Structure 1
Amino acid sequence: MSLPPGFLDELRNRLSLGQVVGRKVMWDQRKSNQGKGDLWAPCPFHQEKTASFHVDDRKGFYYCFGCHAKGDAISFVRETENVDFMEAVKILAAEAGMPVPERDPQAQEKADRRTQLVEVMEQAVKWHRMQLQTAAAGEARDYLARRGLSPEAQDRWEIGFAPANGGVFAHLTGKGVEAQQVIDAGLAAESDRGGAPYDRFRGRIMFPIRDARGRAIGFGGRAMDPNHPAKYYNSPETALFDKGRSLFNHGPAREVAGKGKPLIVAEGYMDVIALSEAGFGATVAPLGTAITEDQLRLLWRMADEPIIALDGDTAGLRAAMRVIDIALPLLEAGKSLRFALMPEGLDPDDLIKAQGAGAMQKLIDAAIPMVQLLWQREIEGKVFDSPERKAALDKALREKIRLIADPSIRSHYGQAIKDLRWALFSASGAPKSSNKRPRQWSAARDPWKREISPVAAARASALAAAAADEDHLREAVILAGLIVAPALSVEFEDELERMECRDPLHRDLQASILRHIGAEELRHIVASECGEAALEKLLSQNHVAISPVMRRVDDEEVARLCLAEEFAKLTARRGHRREIEDAVEDLSGVADEGLTWRLAQASAALNNAGRGKDEDKVDYAIGKNGARMKKDEQSAFDQLLDKIDFAKGAKRPN
């Protein structure tokens, strides 16, 4: 039975090989890194005690370093279930929720037709290469020489020439190829006026386009006439060629990238050729359009972080921004993009010719992450000297971050943007024009202004440190509560995502919870991703152990109320702290009476947030685990538990 083109690729993309294999093996938790899809287990195909069987879940392949068994999900099911190919496909399709196409009597006919079209394209490649050596191609050879392409390089890239008066249609039909096949291959088109079909490519340098398997599927042609409205022209959509799902130099680049070289995405054929000839073999290009979603998926199957190399002019930057907008909804853990922007007015070919391959390597090494370019787009050429302008920036960035589907990545992007925003609007990095009086004003002339005293500055710093410590405690209670009550992680997902964790350990735990929202085995998953020691460190802290959510671990309502209260207090305290930070930011080194009063009030509010009126005089109780706890807090917790029990129908407490 023949399957439609693309069905098996879609099946493999929908399945997790780790899940398929996981039904037959026990993963070695010490050796595996599930977050990165790097899985190890004893081999199911031969007897062994060590974990030499490796699954690369991202690439969808397995390999045993002992017996050398290798393959994908289909071959694994075939070997372990002892079924044939089609039966394995049916098993996996049912698991993936994909209906297996009914037997198509014309499927073989379609496959044969594609094979015939590939043969037609290969004949066209040879004919165009021959034409490059004719007298009519003298100008084309001179152009290629000026671009630095030697005859050997031209042979490697199979570059050809289409004469101005055409000829490929006549040549192929003269060799016995049916006229309709030449048209179906995209080499010729029927005339609107009737008469014989005409060649699509005329007066152009021809670049063959091959798929990942190396089959000729289309052409790209560069016009020799500088005044031609279409400088570059690609084959039309055919049974072989879909430009939105194809990449120039796909197969060779995939092979080089598989050896660890960075994958570079350039703009056009000549950039790919120039970079490859200079030693950057893992280079591809889209085909006359902006990068599509399908092309991004192809790129991520070759490399986790492709580098987009674009011209440094306005058009190149616009292209980079379009790529970002397309990529944001598709981001997954470990899959992103970096950007290497060429010097203004230069493309990769120009840069290599002018400064050598070393200059290009420096740009690749310095490629910036996508979040940095996203930030740069929103602040470029703007001054944020008013609350309204700052709010507009926040809104624009929130709208972009909201496009990210993966909650963990969305959280990390939010944190990165917050860090960049803090750097921009902090006292040292604030725009010079923001919150400043005209130059003729000075502190010496203004009786209402005075310098901030060192004592006040130290007190503000101490307040901030104390606030950060208390925030850290609340974060720990929240994270522990969600881990032991995983069903509530769905309910508090938004609050968790907005929680700003400064502690790297807390950030890792937060990201792990967000990646597996609602999972029943959340505690086990978090331990496997972050380490058992990290989880034990969190859960063993005194203030975590005495919290209601841990004391009544089986009571979901207690956990819900506790988490809601901790999130509310954390939000309130951080709101007060931001008010202090904003006040300090507004000072820019000097303080007037009103602003000083505002800072004092905010400091007092922050200092009192979440604490009793007489906290300094409060008595403490000692918990069963030796933890110190304020007596009024102990009483409040006990009353809370009693109220919940009463609401559930228990006896009214005495």
Structure 2
Amino acid sequence: MSLPPGFLDELRNRVPISRVIGRKVVWDQRKSNQARGDWWAPCPFHQEKSASFHCDDQKGFYYCFGCQAKGDALTFLREMDGLEFIEAVKVLAAEAGMQMPEPDPRSRERSDRRSRLIEVTEAACRWFRLQLQTGAAADARDYLLRRGLDRDAEDRFEIGFAPNSRTALFTALREKGFDEALIIEAGVAARPDGGGTPYDRMRDRIIFPIRDGQGRCIGFGGRAMDPNARAKYLNSPETPLFDKGRNLYHIGPARAAVAKGQRLIVAEGYMDVIALARAGFEGAVAPLGTAITEDQLRLMWRVSPEPIIALDGDAAGQRAARRLIDLALPLTGPGQALRFVMLPTGQDPDDLIKSAGPGAMGALLDQARPLVDLLWERETEGQVFDSPERRAALDRRLQEAIGRIPDELTRRHYTDTIRDKRREVMGGWKPRAKGRGNVQAGPWPARRGGASMAPSAPRPPIPMNGPQSTADLLEGASLLICALRPECVAQIESRLERLLPRDADRAALLHDLLTGGDTDAGRRALETLRTDAHLGLTPKLIESQDLESAQAILTNLIDRLDAERAAGAELVRAEAEIQGEADEGLTWRIQQITRARHRAERPEMEERGDLNEDRDALSAQLDQFLSGQIWRKPTR
């Protein structure tokens, strides 16, 4: 439906946005300035106690400084009440006393058709409700009583019954004057393939009406009374009203509860939602008999930025949670997160609440775990990571999963969390008994927090010339810079782990840098580096740099160290292969490692010129040790 120019502006000008939002929030009168149209309240889109939600009548916009929700009155109606755009315009127009523009004939026809379909489903809902009180529904009432649902619960959730009759509902609706085609289009009856009288889709089932966010009956879910029925639960078919992948059971009451501060809980089925709501967890919803879809996820996030997925603790619940990981990762980010609760094996929310009370359910919800935990469990459960290949495969799977997250900051935090979990599980070097001032020899260096990396191959001998080799000087300079500027460690952590210092004190210092420790040996190594004549100007120079410059200098040193060690290792192997005159292959290899070393020493820079000068200033201190040493044959 198209709207004339200026209609929306006039609509926004007539209705102060605070009037629309004021129905859903309690304004903070101490912080608000009513005369200026400046309003503050706790945000209705996420749970909080402080008044971080700001509404400006003059500008006609709202903004939350907590969850960054923002928009105008129409946006608020769409996000808070789940309205379509035109529906939100109609609500605001009624508030403003403005006449809606006449829709085009096709739009008016679709709207009228939808209204007539809703009349059919509402009539069917009332008929199902009446049938629950008949003699034919005795077994259904007994079942509901065994599940703890009394008459009040039946009325609250509009539970009904479809008798075991082929045409009872169809006949009742026809007697009320509804057209046969309309009844079939609403999904409550179906036409036989061979022709004949349409038959009722729901028969011998307890009926749960499904309503949209505006409270309109759009379809039904039915639980079979016959234990041998082909489908225990059956939903209405896809209709112009009902799309099971785009709706949630109990969404309207749940949205209202979340707006009052309750949590949005996503359970598996109708009875789970009813049990939770009756126990005081009124922000409960359920997907409609299928796995959660992308549209349902987005609908959840319009209600709450962090829904809690409460799944049964059986194998099916576990599988559902893990399937949801792959669906959610490409959508997750700030304001769109998920948390998970796995119920005890063999129990659903109804069972848990009956056996242990609402407090037990609340305690589980308080311990809901983030999506990253389930990702880690899925990729590690039942596996042993006792080889570099297995660890590499794990890292690859995790990297691919995290790489699907679109928000860069969220990806970074996922990476940090996964790294911490890896450390906890895989161990690493640990300090010896207190006072010994060294680190325990271990197979590979620890990351911060004690995690280990895959074992490295034995390092080949490094050519020496004088009291220290080039590699030792580069290694010492790198460690010293990290100690002086610890904020640089995080960005180059994985490369530091591969340093593998041979000196025990330096190994202790590296361990301290990566784990945040403070050992005697590490302090001794730091003091030795500070007083090293070859590195004497390093502290003064590096402490005067900003973080970007310091990071660039450190990266350059690590690059040169890697090239130095690679060149040393290759030259040792090449020397062992020389038998008389060198062949072309050996000559080519020597040329390649020479070029690699020069690239590390004089890389093409894209940073600003003064950064080059800063890095070169530090590098100049080492140049006298770098010039040509590595290319000489080791002294024997």
- Using the alignment, how far apart are the partners of 2:177 and 2:399 within structure 1? 61
> Counterpart of 1:469?
483
Q: Which of 615, 618, 621 in structure 2 is aligned with 1:633?
A: 618
Structural mapping, 1:131-150, within 5 Å = 131-150=131-150
Structural mapping, 1:127-526, within 5 Å = 127-166=127-166, 167-427=168-428, 454-457=436-439, 468-469=482-483, 472=486, 474=488
> Counterpart of 2:124?
124
Partner secondary structure for residue 383 of structure 1 = coil
Task: Give the direction of change, closer, same or farther, for the CA distance of 1:85–1:173 in structure 2 (3 Å limit).
Answer: closer
Count of aligned positions: 440
Task: Give the direction of change, closer, same or farther, for the CA distance of 1:293–1:38 in structure 2 (3 Å limit).
Answer: farther
Task: Give the direction of change, closer, same or farther, for the CA distance of 1:425–1:548 in structure 2 (3 Å limit).
Answer: closer
Deviations 1:545-603 (A, max 9, x none): 546977xxxxxxxxxxx976654546888999xxxxxxxxxxxxxxxxxxxxxxxxxxx
Assess if the C-alpha contact under 8 Å between 1:473 and 1:543 holds in 2: no
- 1:274 Cα offset (Å): 0.5
- Using the alignment, how far apart are the partners of 2:482 and 2:216 within structure 1? 60
- 1:43 Cα offset (Å): 5.2
1:55 equivalent to 2:63? Answer: yes
Assess if the C-alpha contact under 8 Å between 2:482 and 2:489 holds in 1: no
Percent identical residues: 48
Assess if the C-alpha contact under 8 Å between 1:125 and 1:160 holds in 2: yes
User: Which residue identity is paired with 1:161?
Assistant: F
- Using the alignment, how far apart are the partners of 1:306 and 1:73 within structure 2? 19
Task: Give the direction of change, closer, same or farther, for the CA distance of 1:364–1:179 in structure 2 (3 Å limit).
Answer: same
Assess if the C-alpha contact under 8 Å between 2:541 and 2:618 holds in 1: no
- Using the alignment, how far apart are the partners of 1:74 and 1:368 within structure 2? 31
Task: Give the direction of change, closer, same or farther, for the CA distance of 1:149–1:574 in structure 2 (3 Å limit).
Answer: farther
User: Which residue identity is paired with 1:457?
Assistant: V
Assess if the C-alpha contact under 8 Å between 1:59 and 1:301 holds in 2: no
Deviations 1:253-299 (A, max 9, x none): 00001111111000000000011011100000000110001100111
- Using the alignment, how far apart are the partners of 2:56 and 2:128 within structure 1? 54
- Using the alignment, how far apart are the partners of 2:56 and 2:419 within structure 1? 44
5+ residue gaps, structure 2, are 9-16, 18-37, 79-87, 94-101, 447-475, 493-512, 517-539, 565-600, 602-613, 623-636
**Structure (1 or 2) with the larger CA radius of gyration:** 2
Assess if the C-alpha contact under 8 Å between 2:62 and 2:70 holds in 1: no
- 1:58 Cα offset (Å): 4.8
Task: Give the direction of change, closer, same or farther, for the CA distance of 1:422–1:468 in structure 2 (3 Å limit).
Answer: farther
- Using the alignment, how far apart are the partners of 1:341 and 1:123 within structure 2? 39
- Using the alignment, how far apart are the partners of 1:181 and 1:319 within structure 2? 36
Assess if the C-alpha contact under 8 Å between 2:306 and 2:339 holds in 1: yes
Deviations 1:408-457 (A, max 9, x none): 1111101100000011111499xxxxxxxxxxxxxxxxxxxx99993432
- Using the alignment, how far apart are the partners of 1:252 and 1:402 within structure 2? 36
5+ residue gaps, structure 1, are 9-16, 18-27, 47-52, 63-69, 76-83, 90-101, 430-449, 479-500, 505-540, 551-561, 577-611, 613-628, 638-654
Partner secondary structure for residue 424 of structure 1 = helix
User: Which residue identity is paired with 1:122?
Assistant: E
Structural mapping, 1:98-117, within 5 Å = 104-117=104-117
User: Which residue identity is paired with 1:309?
Assistant: A
- 1:72 Cα offset (Å): 3.7
Assess if the C-alpha contact under 8 Å between 2:262 and 2:283 holds in 1: yes
Assess if the C-alpha contact under 8 Å between 2:485 and 2:543 holds in 1: no
Deviations 1:6-30 (A, max 9, x none): xx9xxxxxxxx9xxxxxxxxxx9xx
User: Which residue identity is paired with 1:316?
Assistant: G
User: Which residue identity is paired with 1:472?
Assistant: P
- Using the alignment, how far apart are the partners of 1:391 and 1:277 within structure 2? 49
> Counterpart of 1:526?
none
- Using the alignment, how far apart are the partners of 2:349 and 2:378 within structure 1? 22
Normalising to structure 2: TM-score of the pair?
0.61
- Using the alignment, how far apart are the partners of 1:190 and 1:388 within structure 2? 59
Deviations 1:201-234 (A, max 9, x none): 1110000000000000000000001011200000
Task: Give the direction of change, closer, same or farther, for the CA distance of 1:569–1:120 in structure 2 (3 Å limit).
Answer: farther
RMSD: 4.5
- 1:44 Cα offset (Å): 2.4
User: Which residue identity is paired with 2:151?
Assistant: P
User: Which residue identity is paired with 1:252?
Assistant: P
Deviations 1:122-159 (A, max 9, x none): 10000000000111111100110100001110111000
- 1:42 Cα offset (Å): 6.5
Assess if the C-alpha contact under 8 Å between 1:247 and 1:284 holds in 2: yes
Task: Give the direction of change, closer, same or farther, for the CA distance of 1:633–1:226 in structure 2 (3 Å limit).
Answer: same
- Using the alignment, how far apart are the partners of 2:236 and 2:42 within structure 1? 46
Assess if the C-alpha contact under 8 Å between 2:121 and 2:217 holds in 1: yes
Mean Cα displacement is larger for which, 196-205 or 386-395?
386-395
